[in-house]
Structure 1
Amino acid sequence: MSPKAIQFKANSVIYFQGDMNEKTYILNSGKVILKTVDIESGQEIQDVIQTGEFFGVKSALGKYPREETAIVVLPSNVIEFSVPEFEQIASKNTRIIMKMLKVFSNQLRRIHKQVQNLLSAEEQGKDPEEGLYQIGEYYLGAAKYPQALYAFRRYLTYYPSGRFSDQATPKMAQAEANCQKKGHQGGGIAPAAVTSFDTSTSEGKHLSDVAKKYYNGVSLFSQQKFAEAFKEFKKIIEQSNDEEYKAKSIFEEGRCLFSLGSYDECIKHFTGMIQKYPKHSELLEALFYIGNCYEKKNAKEKAVSFYNKIITMAPKDASVYRKAKKAVSSL
């Protein structure tokens, strides 16, 4: 095998953040940008790859997930290397090594500057926990709901029992509700990002009763109290007339069944959900859970059929598409 040249069309993706891929690349012509998200602010960061510059090197050599998404802006010609091919070329070309060292040193300087900023903020009486919470508040007040949602999720991930967790949870719910109302993407709750939902706070009182119950259920699920969460979602389904939260609760109920290891019930549950809500926002995720249930039951052919169905239906930049592709390759 030898390095190969690949032609990419504009708006195509070379790899996604989170992908596992031991390939490195060099931009021969065209324009490629690397997109990532600032952990604290939720703001998108873009780095432009220069012609002749390598990218994807650290994650390939370190064998860890991609830290960014590589997007082709203009038609581009990219040279793809395997790790052994890259090591062989780099070992014989000191210019490449020097260029890489320059890139890595710039990245290290940027990280050092961020650390210094954090340390100086602490010296001035500010701490990262409060700063992250305040970022969420700022974006919420400015009606920038996707950024607010991201910031509050991050806060609750890093500080699940933090000083502002009671306030952050309902504000996260408020940001999510506004995201959905305005048609923004990313409204789903990250399971590990939620702690207890305090409905006695002033922010919590702005939510409907069914919303409070729903977020209580999400909170219980995040604490791995799957049976209790199942009961909470079941109450919403049986007692509420709010179709939006009923549909969301039906999906969450299925996740609880899967987490409890009730795979036959989970398959039956999600099959019923798809029949009742054929345009459910979590349709593809439901199909993935069904496939995963069959995989757990060692019914590999059925599992693959569901994964393949997702692959034909999902956009290639969707995370469920990548999960399905990975699941098929592992079987």
Structure 2
Amino acid sequence: MKQVFKKRLALRVIGLFLGLIALVILIRGISTPKLYTELILNAQNNVDLTDISLFYSDVGYRQIHNYTLSHEGLSPTSKKWVPYSEGFIDKAVFTTYAEHFADASTPLSSTFQNYYDTDKFVFFAFPGDLTSFRILQKDTGTLSPLKLPKHLYLHGMYVSHMKIVDDQLIILAGEAMSYHALIYTIDLSTFEVTAWKRLETHPSALDELDYTLTPDGLAVFIAGDALQIYDPFTDTTLLQPMPFEVAGITSGANYLFAYSTPNQGGLSYVQIPLNTLATSAPTLSASSLIFPSPTSQVLNLRLQGEHVYFILKDPRAPRFKNYVALYNMNTGQLDYCLGIGDASPLILTSTIQ
């Protein structure tokens, strides 16, 4: 009898122990892991680090962790996130949108391709062509399709950029299985497609950093050693010669930033004032930047004020797998650099907010 009691007690102790281990594993899986970071350089204490956040995730997006950047380093947030094709959306925001879709008897899943949130509207692009595009009016919660004119060119596409210019929405998409871009202009008072363009592009213009929309609605594409610039309001295209083979571009409030990666360890770049982009073809001279490590690669970048923010990856580096690097475009100097250690099995995604 005593032996049976001892066996039962031992089994309960083992069960309790295993339960505690499972609980610890569960908590660790739910909690946001702390990243090892090291401040490498902070040349200016007034560098603006607000509104910069990074996403780490496992391959299957079962764990999504968000970190915000400050002068103290990277801090985890407690927000929950839902993945979609081009990034991550706050789960609470997604739930609100899903409720509006449900009211319209149109279930919203996280398989939508892209979205653009503005003061008055939220625009949703889904896999396929423009017939599945939806506009959510925030003040009324009304969900509307676009009004598509007859003879409108429709094809499967990947919407990468959307921009409101005055009372019009400009949609820039890559046509599926084709070296063409699709640019649509939407009248936001009627939701009617008023203009469209199927534009042949250079074979190198394939990914999100290969083309962009400026605040004025100009569509810009890399095109070998030139930039291809399309104005949807005048239906005109021009080529801007560049001093190098362009690898990527991004647009800020006042400048277009174009870069090349001719050598490992850095890049060449030009910054073009947006007010000269479609009206002249100035002679451009390139400047250069040196990366924190010689094998760094551009994962993403963003213009903010006088700085260009780079998210870099370096899978071959022994110490830091990623860097956040801020360069002053006026001086070409590195003003801030944060090294980030290996977070395996999580990886830093290309998404930056």
By the TM > 0.5 criterion, same fold? no
In terms of Rg, which structure is larger? 2
Using structure 1 for the length normalisation, give the TM-score.
Answer: 0.31
Q: Which has the higher strand share?
A: 2
Q: Please, what TM-score do these two structures have when normalized by structure 2? A: 0.29
More helix by percentage: 1
Tell me: higher relative CO, structure 1 or 2? Use CA pairs within 8 A at least 6 residues apart.
2
